[in-house]
Amino acid sequence: MKTILYSEYTEFSEQKLNKNRLLSQQILNEIKPIANDIINFGDDALYKYTKKFDNVSLDNLKVTKEEIERAYSSIDSQLVNIFKQAIDNIYAFHKPQLQKDYFLENKDFYLGQTYRAIERVGLYIPGGTAKYPSSVLMNAIPAKIAGVKEIVLVCPPNSNGEIDPNVLVAADLLNINEIYKIGGSQAIFALTYGTKSIRKVNKIVGPGNIYVSMAKKLVYGEVGIDMIAGPSEILIIADEKANPKYIAADLLSQAEHDINACCILITTSNEIIKLVKDELNKQIDKSKRKNILSVQSTSNMFCFLTNSIEESITLSNDIAPEHLELMIENPKVYLSKIQNAGSIFLGEYTPEPVGDYWAGTNHTLPTSGASKYQSPLGVYDFIKKMSYLEYSKEKLEKESSSIIEFANAETLFAHANAIKVRCTQDE
């Protein structure tokens, strides 16, 4: 873990930003030919890239009912019950996000806004070094509450040509029955442009590696997307009374995602920095994911030393992290000062995994500073809004002169004429 002074932050930030920009452009150039292949060759291209990137030859792309039945038989029934309880918790948190139609009316006009669910949504679930049934729940449940009729799940297969049984069971518990064994940027392009086997969707959601994120960036406009998510992030603000064992454990909980995950500690205490570094070494040495964590602790784990909690919060607001833990005394007192974060975890007994799996808040969160303008995934991401309006003849005539003058000011004379022909002001 590298220690950086508060005064050195600007230079650190600019270097990191430039590095990310160069990498993003490089990845975009790499995946454009894949997009063209999916457009031109459809399923054949999907089979080709699955063989190339996942090292498996598939007989078919779609998961069968028999595969889902086998998935249930391969996992413990207690885990199924845990999934069900998590589902209840996530539903409970997200249901209040459902918006209602509203309208304004009197005898002369009727104005309103109405909501419609997006009809067909693609859900990307990562494969790779871990399993993500939690991402199925976090992405699909808000869509279900919104009223999305068709949810299409894609996930890269393992070397046996199968999707992780935990993912399949989580999907089945939510009645998702259109599941395809494809991953990477090619899966995003298949959802966007469609193939013989896979009908195109209206919007794509779900986390993935940088190739998936850049593919979503490339197709935005052809379809909607939730966000362009970068590597996972955690930022912990700690005072001198914070528990270094907890801090180290929480930093590592995000570091194990991949070697590009960003883990930051901001503290006012040199002693805390020393103790956390010692704890990191101890916990990494005992970890089952030691290889990833060892690289992480030297390449993408940083500590900023500040002069006050207020200064720490200022720094955090500029970084705008995905996950923010306030491991300080009376964290609720400082909640109003947090301007930018995906999700905020208050106190030493609210580690980030509570939000990942259980409490009900969504774990699909903005990264790479995007919480300055973007929110966690929610029911609102699966809903379209439409306005409607009706004027009476009397109302239009009363307001016509103002509307005509406004249109003329923009030199849009046909706009003005559309009012004139209905009223008594024809020339």
Domain ranges of the chain: 26-69+104-227, 231-373, 393-427
- Residue 229 binned pLDDT confidence (cut-offs 50, 70, 90): confident
Q: State residue 324's pLDDT score.
A: 98
The tens digit of pLDDT for each residue in 321-347 reads 999 999 999 999 999 999 999 999 999
Sequence-separated (6 or more) residues with CB below 8 Å from residue 313: 237, 334, 337, 338
Percentage with pLDDT > 70 across the chain? 97
Q: Return d(Cα 366, Cα 230) in angstroms, integer.
A: 8
- Per-residue pLDDT, averaged over 304-309, amounts to 93
For residue 80, which of 168, 187, 158 has the smallest C-alpha distance?
168
For residue 119, which of 224, 24, 236 has the smallest C-alpha distance?
224
For residue 138, which of 43, 14, 226 has the smallest C-alpha distance?
226
Which strand ranges, in their side-by-side order, compose the sheet holding 178-180? 178-180, 150-154, 120-124, 203-205, 224-225
Active site residue 322: yes
Q: Which residue out of 323, 325, 348, 352 is catalytically annotated?
A: 323
The tens digit of pLDDT for each residue in 132-183 reads 999 999 999 999 999 999 999 999 999 899 999 999 999 999 999 999 999 9
For residue 321, which of 339, 304, 334 has the smallest C-alpha distance?
339
Q: Which residue out of 233, 279, 322, 348 is catalytically annotated?
A: 322
Residue ranges of E strands in 268-307 = 301-305
Q: Return d(Cα 36, Cα 170) in angstroms, integer.
A: 33
Q: State residue 290's pLDDT score.
A: 78
What would you report as the CA-atom Rg of the chain, rounded to the nearest whole angstrom? 25
Active site residue 323: yes
The tens digit of pLDDT for each residue in 169-217 reads 999 999 999 999 999 999 999 999 999 999 999 999 999 988 999 999 9
Q: State residue 288's pLDDT score.
A: 79
Q: Return d(Cα 317, Cα 321) in angstroms, integer.
A: 8
Q: What is the pTM of this model?
A: 0.92
Question: Which amino acid, residue 323?
Answer: H
- Residue 129 binned pLDDT confidence (cut-offs 50, 70, 90): low
Specify the CATH class of 231-373 in words.
alpha beta
Transcribe 38-94 into DSSP letters.
HHHHTHHHHHHHHHHHH----S-SBPPHHHHHHHHHHS-HHHHHHHHHHHHHHHHHH
Q: State residue 264's pLDDT score.
A: 94
In this structure, of 56-70, 260-274, 285-299, 383-397, the range with the lowest mean pLDDT score is 285-299
Per the CB < 8 A criterion, the answer to whether 236 and 247 are in contact is yes
Helix or strand holding residue 163 (H, E): none
pLDDT at 392 over 70: yes
Let me know if the fold of 26-69+104-227 is the same as that of 231-373.
yes
Q: Return d(Cα 91, Cα 386) in angstroms, integer.
A: 25
Per the CB < 8 A criterion, the answer to whether 230 and 259 are in contact is no
The tens digit of pLDDT for each residue in 269-279 reads 999 999 999 99
Transcribe 98-125 into DSSP letters.
----EEEE-SSEEEEEEEEE-SEEEEE-
Q: State residue 230's pLDDT score.
A: 80
Architecture of domain 26-69+104-227: 3-Layer(aba) Sandwich (3.40)
For residue 205, which of 184, 221, 222, 226 has the smallest C-alpha distance?
226
Pick the residue with more confidence: 260 or 371?
371
